[in-house]
């Protein structure tokens, strides 16, 4: 690969408006988009599954003496209309239209999450489970391909592990992010330290945790070593954690898309499709 | 320019339209014949993986008395709407017989009294419903393996089918389920007649329900009337091995 600075020195005309840099390998690009699709479908089919029992508790079973941590339900108002109610730690909120009661085919119906965020859009547990498990396997296989490539192709050690310099510049990187200031020149060929830490925590913490908490809900896998799911607080706790980790991944995705938008959406999209990223020139 | 034509509004409508198309596409795919068949590759992978990483006789977690759920939820049928069943229930199931037949050398009938006099197993286990809830109960019953030892399945027998008393629809379709011989001979697979130290209530499947602790709740048929040993369940119900399986749920309910 050409050294960015020598390229810029040889082609001063191009350096003025930046130059294209091959930033993402083919396997990274493919696995990225497979992940994007799989995670979206897993979230939406997962919410359809959640709707079959729209309640989260902590403990070994649902019927301990403790109240649920999170629950959606419905009540009938004096005029006969339905009110959606969401309870979080004993506090109730009116969430009509979104949680508890929402419109489905023009009719107000009692359901946890609304139809526009579930797959299938209407309550169909058996089908939602087929979607969920198919894309769960796709995520796992895709993740294995990515990890194998990252380890063998040194994507992990070269691009993702923070360097000593990264750790020292973490404060400045935080300030840069808050000011929406994005790297230019050679610095733009690399991930910044916050980006590296975000990606590493998704790859090595959040995704493994969501697979683990999902597996803990399997009665067959629970028999692997009777009692192993106690480490997660029990079966219903694992279900609650699965839900929390899923929304943490959504939070990551929102921040990720936000950063893509504010740091040059077309340039970023091109680099994740063709691999080529236009390096903005260093300010003079 | 009116508010309706503002770029922001146009963009929002466009996004909503794309979202609607994608969602509608997922719904349409779900209703085809071919697409769910592709999705079910995941089901096959799950079953194989679960069997590969756990032993044939791996044991489900057992709990202590203090973990018992305050009351054990009755789900699905709470009281079978069936004349024959109601007649049996009125007499405390004294006239009830468990019929065991099919691919066996010695078809037999068992009264509740006979089953109660056989070796019993007590287990405090968690019941995981496919809907997402779970409850912990104390079950007492006769190991299914002991019953099978008496009727002696032939070498051709591959599945145990549970025929139940509860009608599931207006046409009178009865609940049924099936498991393979590996689960049938599992030490925790019992035909339970007691729940939480009391006679099994009607809401939980009286007089007899099966416990299959490494699978989801819908496998654990209630109101059992007959066990049939078969080499294939293709000719029973709609051929998928159980009432809920016929509605699209997995036959192996390990997750």
Domain positions in chain A are: 8-54+117-279, 58-112
Chain A closest-CA separation from residue B42 CA (Å): 4
Answer whether residue B123 is part of any domain.
Answer: yes
Q: Report the distance separating Cα A264 and Cα A259, nearest Å.
A: 9
Q: Would you call B42 and A53 a contact, using CB atoms and an 8 Å cutoff?
A: no
Inform me whether the C-beta atom of residue A93 falls under 8 Å from chain B C-beta atoms: no
To test the contact with chain B by mutation, choose from A120, A215, A219, A237 the residue with the greatest count of B C-beta atoms within 10 A, namely A219
pLDDT tens, position by position, A173-220:
999 999 988 888 888 889 999 999 999 999 999 999 999 999 999 999
**Cβ-contact A173, A192 below 8 angstroms:** yes
Instruction: Fill in the DSSP letter of residue A148.
Output: H
Instruction: Fill in the DSSP letter of residue A172.
Output: H
- Angle of CA points B90, B93, B98, to nearest 5°: 145
pLDDT for A11 equals: 54
Residues 6+ apart with CB under 8 A from A175: none
Q: Which of residues 16 through 45 in chain B touch A, CB cutoff 8 A? A: 19-20, 23-24, 26-27, 30, 36, 38-43, 45
pLDDT tens, position by position, B108-118:
999 999 999 99
Which stretches of chain B are DSSP H helices?
7-31, 34-39, 41-53, 83-90, 112-117, 144-151, 181-184, 243-246
**Cβ-contact B119, B146 below 8 angstroms:** yes
Q: What is the mean pLDDT of residues A20-26?
A: 93
Q: Which of A215, A212, A229, A226 is nearest to B57 (CA)?
A: A226
SS3 label, residue A109? strand
Query: Phi and psi (nearest 5°) for A17?
Result: -110, 20
Q: Report the distance separating Cα A121 and Cα A140, nearest Å.
A: 25
Contacts of A221 in chain B (CB under 8 A): 50, 53-54, 254-255
Q: What is the mean pLDDT of residues B186-193?
A: 98
**Cβ-contact A185, A282 below 8 angstroms:** yes
Inform me whether the C-beta atom of residue A259 falls under 8 Å from chain B C-beta atoms: no
Instruction: Give the sign of the dihedral formed by CA B131, CA B216, CA A247, CA A27.
Output: negative
User: Model's pTM, two decimal places?
Assistant: 0.93
**Cβ-contact B193, B140 below 8 angstroms:** yes
Q: What is the residue range of B204's domain?
A: 59-246
Mean pLDDT over all residues of chain B?
A: 95
| Closest Cβ opposite residue A219 in set B46, B216, B244 | B216
Q: Report the distance separating Cα B218 and Cα B127, nearest Å.
A: 10
Q: Token digits for A193? A: 């330290």
Q: Report the distance separating Cα B176 and Cα B165, nearest Å.
A: 9
Q: What is the mean pLDDT of residues B97-126?
A: 98
Query: Phi and psi (nearest 5°) for A275?
Result: 95, -15
CATH of the domain at B230: 3.90.420.10
Q: Report the distance separating Cα B75 and Cα B77, nearest Å.
A: 6
To test the contact with chain B by mutation, choose from A42, A51, A61, A217 the residue with the greatest count of B C-beta atoms within 10 A, namely A61
Topology at the third CATH level for domain A8-54+117-279: Fumarate Reductase Cytochrome B subunit (1.20.950)
Inform me whether the C-beta atom of residue A226 falls under 8 Å from chain B C-beta atoms: yes
pLDDT for A187 equals: 86
Residue A164 has a CB neighbour count (10 Å cut-off) of 7
| Closest Cβ opposite residue A60 in set B19, B63, B254 | B63
Answer whether residue B172 is part of any domain.
Answer: yes
Q: Report the distance separating Cα A221 and Cα A212, nearest Å.
A: 10
pLDDT for B7 equals: 82
Query: Into how many domains does chain B fold?
Result: 1
A4 has pLDDT over 60: no
To test the contact with chain A by mutation, choose from B11, B24, B41, B46 the residue with the greatest count of A C-beta atoms within 10 A, namely B46
Q: What is the mean pLDDT of residues A62-83?
A: 92
Answer whether residue B226 is part of any domain.
Answer: yes
pLDDT tens, position by position, A78-137:
998 999 999 999 899 999 999 999 998 788 999 999 999 999 999 999 999 999 999 999
pLDDT over 70, % of chain A:
94
Chain A closest-CA separation from residue B220 CA (Å): 13
pLDDT confidence bin for B2, thresholds 50/70/90:
very low
Q: What is the mean pLDDT of residues A227-239?
A: 97
Q: Which of residues 124 through 163 in chain A touch B, CB cutoff 8 A? A: 124-127, 129-131, 133-137
Inform me whether the C-beta atom of residue A223 falls under 8 Å from chain B C-beta atoms: yes
Q: Would you call B54 and A133 a contact, using CB atoms and an 8 Å cutoff?
A: no
Q: Give the pairing of strands B97-102 and B224-230.
A: parallel
Q: Token digits for B83? A: 């004349």
- Angle of CA points B68, B204, A239, to nearest 5°: 50
Q: Token digits for A44? A: 């939406």
Given the structure tokens 């090595």, which residue do they identify?
A204
Q: Would you call B249 and A65 a contact, using CB atoms and an 8 Å cutoff?
A: no
Answer whether residue B166 is part of any domain.
Answer: yes
Instruction: Indicate the burial class of A218 (C-beta count within 10 angstroms; 0-12, 13-18, 19 or more).
Output: buried
């Amino acid at each position: 690969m050409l050294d960015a600075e020598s390229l810029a020195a040889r082609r001063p005309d191009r350096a003025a408006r930046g130059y294209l840099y091959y930033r993402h390998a083919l396997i990274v690009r493919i696995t990225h988009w497979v992940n994007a699709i799989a995670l979206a479908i897993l979230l939406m089919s997962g919410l359809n599954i959640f709707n079959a029992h729209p309640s989260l508790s902590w403990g070994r079973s649902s019927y301990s003496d403790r109240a649920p941590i999170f629950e959606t339900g419905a009540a009938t108002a004096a005029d006969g209309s339905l009110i959606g109610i969401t309870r979080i730690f004993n506090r109730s909120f009116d969430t009509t239209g979104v949680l508890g009661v929402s419109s489905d085919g023009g009719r107000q119906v009692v359901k946890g999450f609304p139809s526009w965020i579930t797959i299938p859009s209407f309550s169909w547990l058996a089908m939602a489970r087929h979607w969920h498990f198919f894309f769960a396997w796709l995520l796992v296989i895709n993740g294995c391909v990515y990890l194998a490539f990252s380890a063998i192709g040194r994507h992990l050690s070269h691009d993702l592990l923070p360097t000593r310099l990264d750790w020292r510049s973490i404060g400045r990187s935080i300030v840069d992010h808050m000011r929406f200031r994005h790297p230019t020149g050679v610095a733009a060929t690399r991930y910044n330290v916050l980006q590296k830490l975000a990606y590493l925590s998704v790859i090595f913490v959040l995704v493994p945790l969501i697979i683990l908490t999902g597996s803990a809900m399997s009665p067959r896998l629970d028999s692997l070593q009777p009692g192993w799911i106690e480490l997660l607080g029990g079966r219903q706790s694992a279900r609650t954690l699965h839900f929390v980790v899923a929304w943490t991944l959504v939070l990551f995705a929102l921040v990720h898309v936000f950063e893509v938008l504010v740091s040059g959406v077309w340039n970023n999209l091109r680099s994740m499709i063709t691999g080529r990223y236009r390096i903005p020139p260093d300010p003079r | 320019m009116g508010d309706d034509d503002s770029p922001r509004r146009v963009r929002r409508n466009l996004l909503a339209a794309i979202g609607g198309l994608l969602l509608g596409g997922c719904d349409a795919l779900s209703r085809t014949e071919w697409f769910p068949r592709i999705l079910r590759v995941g089901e096959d992978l799950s079953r194989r993986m679960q069997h590969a990483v756990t032993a044939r006789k791996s044991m489900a977690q057992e709990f202590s008395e203090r973990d018992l759920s305050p009351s054990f939820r009755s789900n699905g049928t709470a009281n079978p709407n069936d004349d024959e069943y109601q007649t049996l229930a009125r007499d405390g199931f004294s006239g009830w017989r468990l019929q065991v037949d099919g691919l066996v050398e010695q078809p037999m009938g068992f009264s509740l009294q006979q089953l109660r006099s056989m070796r019993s197993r007590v287990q405090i286990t968690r019941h995981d419903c496919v809907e997402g809830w779970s409850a912990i109960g104390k079950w007492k019953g006769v190991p299914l393996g002991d019953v099978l030892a008496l009727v002696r399945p032939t070498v051709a027998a591959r599945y145990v089918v549970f025929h139940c008393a509860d009608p599931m629809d207006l046409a009178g379709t009865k609940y049924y389920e099936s498991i393979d011989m590996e689960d049938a001979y599992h030490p925790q697979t019992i035909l339970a007649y007691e729940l939480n130290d009391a006679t099994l209530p009607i809401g939980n499947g009286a007089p007899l329900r099966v416990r299959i602790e490494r699978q989801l709740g819908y496998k654990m048929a209630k109101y059992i009337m007959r066990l049939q040993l078969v080499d294939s369940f293709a000719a029973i119900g709609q051929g998928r091995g159980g009432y809920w399986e016929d509605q699209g749920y997995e036959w192996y309910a390990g997750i």
